[in-house]
Amino acid sequence: MKKLLLILPLLLPIICMAQGNSKIYDLVMGTRTRGTSDGIYVYRFNSETGEVSYLNHVDGIIDPTYLCISANKGFVYAVSDQATGNGGVYAYKFDAVTGRLDSVNNQPAFGGPLYLSVDRDQKNLFAAHYLGGNLSVYPINADGSLSPASQLIHDEGSSINKERQEGPHVHTAMLSPDEKYLIATDLGTDKLFIYKFDPSQKQVLTLFNTVNVTPGNGPRHVEFSADGKYLYLLQEMAGLITAYQFNGGKPTALQTITMLPDNFKGTIQAADIHLSPDGRFLYASNRGTEDKIIQYAVDKSTGKLTFIDGYSSMGKSPRNFVIDPTGNFLFISNQYSDSVTVYKIDKSTGKLTLTQTAIKIDGPMCIRFVPVDESK
């Protein structure tokens, strides 16, 4: 077993306003397994005190860089994002009381998977394969295991950046809140693909619409407003966010806003995007020269954004970040500085304040929250 380094937090003076009754969460974290990390790690987080403690981890998977959790919280699905070969998708049974992960099975991928999502009925797992330029669907069995892919969609084309856009690179596969549509971004072709999702059909995805993005922008991740009215697209290569009115799968652009300071001359690598649980604030991360979290206010009546502030990730390459379900904390995975930084969120202003909580782990890539059932 490879060594895990953990910095435990000091106690923080926090008043918790948790959703529901849960105040204890498991943090399930995927890592890049090219150093001392060797799999998926689980920590326990107390949203009242700010304490974080290591529980356990599971090995036997290479580069689990992206995770998703089933709706019943009983299963964790992970990519194996290998730099060579096709990689794979893995299923694990998860015990939210003990934090234990047990391998169920895995299936081959179709070229460097980077993103997973699962429908509410836990019948379909969607995977975006960046290197292969593919979108795939894996049926989920009653025991949480994955069947071989039932649908494989390969994108075609390229765009103007000959180094990064020489061919298709599918980056996201996200369902709309009503689960009528699936959104797939293709960084390589500068397109946003919108599929109709019909779980009653053998081929559950049917292409419905295609949205062109400005050549060279590189669409990466998306985020929906809770009501599904607005869609926010983060464009990795340009450092831009475009707000769309979704219009039943026929998006209309409302606004494009930069993530960059005036006269910026550095490297742009926009990475992740999330709304606060109340939908009042939107946050996005930029790697490259910036290594920042950018905060915007959301006008919920128009969907438009207003820049508020930028915050250092306190590390290198904030590839992923996540807001805890209480809306009180923001956790940042700094891939190249081997650290997870934690900010406290002021719910009235959305402003971030650095806490003394930190996790030191090699190659942190993706964090997911699972509420702990404290009744057991």
Q: What is the four-CA torsion angle of 247, 253, 257, 259, rounded to 10 degrees? A: 70
pLDDT value of position 86: 87
- 229 in a domain, yes or no? yes
Q: Residue 238 pLDDT more than 60?
A: yes
Domain span at 162: 24-371
Mean pLDDT value across residues 108-130: 97
Mean pLDDT value across residues 121-136: 98
Share of the chain above pLDDT 70, in %: 93
pLDDT value of position 197: 98
pLDDT digits (tens, 9 = 90+) for 146-179: 999 999 999 999 999 999 999 999 999 999 999 9
- 13 in a domain, yes or no? no
Give residues with Cβ within 8 angstroms of 296, minimum separation 6: 241, 257, 281, 282, 283, 284, 305, 306, 307, 308
- 9 in a domain, yes or no? no
3-state helix, strand, coil in the chain (%, to 5): 0, 50, 50
- 98 in a domain, yes or no? yes
pLDDT digits (tens, 9 = 90+) for 288-347: 999 999 999 999 999 999 999 999 999 999 999 999 999 999 999 999 999 999 999 999
pLDDT digits (tens, 9 = 90+) for 1-50: 343 444 443 333 222 223 345 689 999 999 999 899 999 999 999 988 78
Q: Residue 84 pLDDT more than 80?
A: no
pLDDT value of position 8: 40
pLDDT value of position 96: 85
- 80 in a domain, yes or no? yes
Mean pLDDT value across residues 181-203: 98
pLDDT value of position 21: 55
Mean pLDDT value across residues 221-245: 98
Helix (H, G, I), strand (E, B) or coil at 75: strand
Q: Residue 281 pLDDT more than 90?
A: yes
Tokens 């869609």 -> residue = 231
Number of domains in the chain: 1
Give residues with Cβ within 8 angstroms of 158, minimum separation 6: 165, 166, 167, 168, 188, 189
At 375, the pLDDT band (50, 70, 90 cuts) reads low
pLDDT value of position 256: 98
Distance CA 103, CA 226 (A): 32
- 360 in a domain, yes or no? yes
- 12 in a domain, yes or no? no
CATH number, residue 363: 2.130.10.10
Could you give the angle at the alpha carbon of 316 between the alpha carbons of 315 and 317, nearest 5°? 125
Give residues with Cβ within 8 angstroms of 104, minimum separation 6: 75, 91, 92, 93, 143, 144, 145, 146
Amino acid identity of residue 212, one-letter, is N
pLDDT digits (tens, 9 = 90+) for 39-81: 999 999 998 878 899 999 999 999 999 999 999 999 999 999 9
- 11 in a domain, yes or no? no
